Amino acid sequence: MSIVAISETLGSQGTEIGRELGRALGWEFADREIIAKAAERFGEEMAELQHITEEKPTLWERFTDSKRHYLSYVEATIFEMAARDNAILVGHGAAVILREIPHVLRVRITAPERIRAERLRRQQGLASDEAALALVRDADHERASRIKFLYHVDLDDPLLYDLAVNTERLGLEEGVCLVRDALQSRIVQPTEAGRAGARDRSLAAQAKARLLVDPTTRTLRVSVTVANGHVTVGGTVDSDAQRDAALKIVGELPGVAAVTDEILVIRVPTYARA
């Protein structure tokens, strides 16, 4: 059992291939569901979370930490789904976010611009080929800019993926077969070490997201590392209360075996606060 992370271009039928593969294998499928789950779990608006992974970053985002919160919520959701195995995740940077997990099959699905534009024109009833082509180009640019901003990688870099599928001539069934065949490869067969690593990455992502969503700890600069379910929390805080709050939040996460406190309390003198 493995995980499939699909990066698609608009109109390439990547979502359709992923959904059909999920039906064929009986695996969990998520595309927009990733954003819906993250919004529900962390109490944020879906539009904000959709923007953080799909649209070109604004000038304001480049100079603030707002993206850090939203991105953490999306990443925590993706890692949590991946840690369960038997999952097909489409878009939202999943292929990049999960690239360090060995049993993730990373797939790029695309097609020439004109093919994708024609599909969109038919599906959405667009008035002209030019309008459809502009939509495709805008979407490609926005997604590429967003991932470049967040992860400093090029979505079109073939070295990011294990398999690239061009749907110009391949139909839905053939695309599903290609991905399904690739899942038989030795390189994406899970091991106990690989699964443990996925669980640890998920725990670290959950911890960071929970610390950011809680008003008591969201401004703290603490670090979280996980090894075999043992969580180490480090960094500096102003008070014992802040340290205790951070340790409590992390310790209550499902799957945490133990918590090591490496937080340094540096008390700010009263006159310095004034």
Q: What is the CATH number of the domain that holds 212?
A: 3.30.1340.30
Name residue 160's amino acid.
L
Considering the domain boundaries, does residue 188 fall inside one? no
> Same structural domain for residues 115 and 168?
yes
87-104, pLDDT tens digit by residue?
A: 999 988 899 999 999 999
Q: Are 228 and 173 in the same domain?
A: no
Residues 264 and 175 in one domain: no
Higher pLDDT, 213 or 110: 110
Give me the pLDDT at residue 63, please: 44
Please check whether residue 30 is in contact with residue 37, taking contact to mean a CB–CB distance below 8 angstroms.
yes
CATH number at residue 47: 3.40.50.300
Judge whether 103 lies within some domain: yes
Half-sphere exposure of 103 (CA within 13 A, CB side): 21
For every residue of the chain, DSSP letters joined together read --EEEEEE-TTS-HHHHHHHHHHHHT-EEESHHHHHHHHHHHT--HHHHHHHHHSPPPHHHHTSSHHHHHHHHHHHHHHHHHHTSSEEEESTTHHHHTTTSTTEEEEEEE--HHHHHHHHHHHHT-S-HHHHHHHHHHHHHHHHHHHHHHHS--TT-GGG-SEEEETTT--HHHHHHHHHHHTTSGGG---HHHHHHHHHHHHHHHHHHHHHHSTTTTT-EEEEEEETTEEEEEEEESSHHHHHHHHHHHHTSTT--EEEEEEEE-PPPHHHH-
Q: Which of 149, 182, 215 is the last residue of a domain?
A: 182
Least confident piece of the model among 2-11, 120-129, 161-170, 199-208: 120-129
| pLDDT over 50 at 193, yes or no | yes
Task: Using the 3D structure, point to which of 182, 205, 226 is the last residue of a domain.
Answer: 182
* Residue with the larger pLDDT of the pair 159 and 49: 159
| Residue in the structure block whose two tokens are 């805080």 | 237
Lowest mean pLDDT among 58-67, 193-202, 248-257: 58-67
Residues 106 and 138 in one domain: yes
Give me the mean pLDDT over the 82-89 stretch: 90
Query: What distance lies between CA 1 and its chain's CA centroid?
Result: 20
| 155 and 257 in a common domain | no
Beta bridge partners of 226: 231
Q: Taking the C-alpha atoms of 132, 135, 140 and 142 in order, what is their torsion angle to the nearest 10 degrees?
A: 180
Report the pLDDT value the prediction gives residue 158, as an integer from 0 to 100.
92
Q: In the predicted model, is pLDDT for residue 270 greater than 90? A: no
Mean pLDDT for 232-257 is 90
Instruction: Please state which of the ranges 30-44, 65-79, 125-139, 198-212 shows the lowest mean pLDDT.
Output: 30-44
Which residue, 114, 149, 182, sits at the end of a domain?
Answer: 182
233 occurs within a structural domain: yes
Rounded to whole angstroms, how far apart are CA atoms 103 and 3? 7
Q: Are residues 141 and 255 in the same domain?
A: no
Domain that holds residue 217: 193-273
CA distances from 167 to 109, 235, 240, 266 (A): 7, 48, 57, 57
Mean pLDDT of 209-224: 87
User: What pLDDT shows up at residue 218?
Assistant: 82
Co-location of 109 and 21 in the same domain = yes
Residue 269 makes CB contacts below 8 A (sequence gap 6+) with: none
Which pLDDT belongs to residue 130? 87
CB-CB neighbours of 31 under 10 Å: 19
Number of domains in the chain: 2
Residues 103 and 220 in one domain: no
Is 69 or 8 the better-scoring residue by pLDDT?
8
pLDDT tens per residue across span 136-166: 999 999 888 888 888 899 999 999 999 999 9
Confidence class for position 65, pLDDT limits 50, 70, 90: low
Tokens of 76: 């925590």
Residues 149 and 207 in one domain: no
